[in-house]
Amino acid sequence: MQKQICLLLSFTQSREVALLTCKDERLKGYFGNGTLGEYSSIWLARTLPEDGQLITLEFDPKHTKVAEENIRNAGLDYKIEVITDPALETLPTLKGRGFSDFDLIFIDADKLNNPYYLKWALGFPDQVRLLIIGDNVHNEDVIENNSDDINVHEVRQFIDLLYEESHIDSTAIQTVGIKGYDGFVL
């Protein structure tokens, strides 16, 4: 049987979308970037079948320690593995580690590297069914032509890359929450 993996770079506002999507019984594993306390990953791991697996990346060893404790407390340490390494160095090594069939890719890491993460994710054209990218509205700044915010420019570049990919259907969805106006791209 082919292993199926869901790549998760977690974000809070669209967690419900991911939870609904990840309830698909065919998904056998998830992957995440940006662990922090592991709250979203714990919820997502609960949607996995018993033999499912979630792999997540975290840059900060302190966050890894907190995440691993939370994972143990949730009783999911047999399903979730935290890798403490920078994403830009680790993502290219995942195929060699046996993670190569991604059904869902969920990106919410540092915005400056979103174009890189997208290019990496597009390296799996036959496996990816859904790509979710979080925090892409920035209080409407992304549509303002005179913004000096480097993150806004990177989000625009990222959205342009999506537009240029003819085999991808995408849409931006605005959300309103504790962070104000924000959103994500599907």
Decide: 121 and 105 in contact? Cβ < 8 Å: yes
Domain containing 79 — which CATH number? Answer: 3.40.50.150
The pLDDT-based confidence of 134 (bands split at 50, 70, 90) is low
Q: Tell me the residue range of the domain where 53 lies.
A: 5-185
Alpha helices per DSSP H over 9-137:
15-22, 39-45, 61-73, 87-90, 114-121
The pLDDT-based confidence of 41 (bands split at 50, 70, 90) is confident
How many residues does this entry show for the chain? 186
Write out pLDDT tens, residues 117-129: 888 877 766 666 6
The pLDDT-based confidence of 115 (bands split at 50, 70, 90) is confident
Starting at the earlier edge strand, list the strands of the sheet with 5-8: 80-84, 53-58, 29-33, 5-8, 102-107, 130-134, 180-185, 172-177
Q: What's the structural domain count of the chain? A: 1
Q: How far is CA 150 from CA 111, 141, 173, in A?
A: 9, 11, 21
Write out pLDDT tens, residues 43-102: 778 877 787 778 888 888 998 999 899 999 999 999 888 888 888 898 889 888 887 766
Name the residue with higher pLDDT: 15 or 150: 150
Residue 16 structure tokens: 């419900």
The pLDDT-based confidence of 30 (bands split at 50, 70, 90) is low
